[in-house]
Amino acid sequence: MICLKLRKLQFGKRFLLPLTFGLYTGWLFIATVVNIAAALVKLKWDGFGIGNETWSIIILIIAVILVFIVLQKNRNAAFPLPIAWAYLEIYEFLKAPQGFKGEFGLLQITSLVGMAFLIGMAAIQLYQNRFALLPKSLIINGFANTALLSNTIILFQQNCQLEDKNKAHYVVIFDELPIK
């Protein structure tokens, strides 16, 4: 919810709020996934007879899919980055001598592929946001009627209330504005 509200705040150099909340939201996301997995282990859940490595791979894949879904809503390019970092650390721990010493090769590969997908999602979102953390909006005056052109919504103000009647009518262009 906060990330959606931040989309309205990004003007000019105000990148710190979207960055911090994007990173924090991503960190909370992966912490939630880990806490759910830890709770299942503590409850001695048998995973319907499916092996631990298989369940771990399923959880990693589901987490990437959920990140994609959340990213479509919040459009914050920083959101997938802490999750990608966690996937890298999973890989590092699985291959480390003090970890599992490379015992789970398929899980290592899954974590690396997941990390690549997450970084790719962040890069694509950054590109779609025109190299901003959140989608940019260009304000040239006001708004009212709506016309949808590809992925851009253009709002035109036809009867705006202006102090100076000689000023031009307002036009607001929002890229990637969610339609409800």
**Digit-coded pLDDT (tens) for 82-107:** 999 999 999 999 999 998 988 999 99
C-alpha 21 chain-centroid distance:
11
pLDDT of the chain along its 180 residues, tens only? 666 565 555 455 567 888 899 999 999 999 999 999 999 999 999 889 999 999 999 999 999 999 999 999 999 999 999 999 999 999 999 999 998 988 999 999 999 999 999 999 999 999 999 888 888 763 344 433 333 333 333 333 344 444 544 444 444 444 444 444
Domain residues for 159?
137-175
First to last CA, the chain: 15
Could you tell me if 84 and 112 lie in one domain?
yes
Could you tell me if 69 and 157 lie in one domain?
no
Residue 138 is given by DSSP the state E
Could you tell me if 30 and 104 lie in one domain?
yes
Could you tell me if 88 and 43 lie in one domain?
yes
For the chain, how many structural domains are there in total? Answer: 2
pTM (predicted TM-score):
0.70
Query: Is 28 a member of any domain?
Result: yes
Query: Is 143 a member of any domain?
Result: yes
Task: Identify the three-state secondary structure at position 56.
Answer: helix
Contact 120, 153 (CB under 8 A): no
Query: Is 180 a member of any domain?
Result: no
